[in-house]
Amino acid sequence: MRKFEKISFEEFKKSVCDDIKLYENFNLPKRQTKYSAGYDFESIIEYTLKPGETVKIPLGIKVCMNEDEMLMLLVRSSMGFKNNVRMCNQVGIIESDYYNNESNEGHMFIKLHNHGKEDFQIKKGDRICQGIFTKFLIVDNEESIENKRTGGMGSTNKGEKNGK
């Protein structure tokens, strides 16, 4: 099953703020046109990104997907093309085992950097990135992998070894 969900309000309070109205009123990602590949994510914060500045933006969202799928997070074309604003890692890769991890429930973030010469205004509800689902393949002669994700972002190398 493939779906977007809001993180719990408890996680939202830890990683965003203690504003129940904000939590209840932000939108899940959605496609804007019939043939859109990407699901647009809206900003839940307001921020002015100065030239040369970087900001980490919480999305308030987690994603459930099939084991052989990933979600790629990409900056919206217009932000890079018109404003020279980019995601720091260019493409965020979210794997299925990130969902409901014990560190942050699978809460997704993006980190934007303003490479332009003018301030870039981010308002609540602005579409700031897009997510595209895709299947991935593995090699036929891969050895069995027993490591399991136990944490959130950047935890792949810290996974549980051999089920322990």
pLDDT in tens, 52-85: 999 999 999 999 999 999 999 999 988 999 999 9
Residue 156, pLDDT > 80, answer no
Domain around 45? 3-135
| DSSP E strand boundaries for 12-153 | 39-42, 47-49, 54-58, 61-64, 69-75, 85-87, 91-95, 109-114, 120-122, 127-135
- 15 within domain boundaries: yes
- 162 within domain boundaries: no
- 155 within domain boundaries: no
- 141 within domain boundaries: no
Whether pTM exceeds 0.85: yes
Whichever domain contains 37, its CATH number is: 2.70.40.10
For the chain, the domain total comes to: 1
Q: Report the distance separating Cα 21 and Cα 35, nearest Å.
A: 32
- 71 within domain boundaries: yes
Q: Phi and psi at residue 13, in whole multiples of 5°?
A: -60, -40
- 151 within domain boundaries: no
Q: What type of residue sits at position 164?
A: K
- Structure tokens belonging to residue 23: 């939590």
Q: Report the distance separating Cα 56 and Cα 154, nearest Å.
A: 15
Q: Which pLDDT does position 153 carry in this prediction?
A: 64
- 149 within domain boundaries: no
- 160 within domain boundaries: no
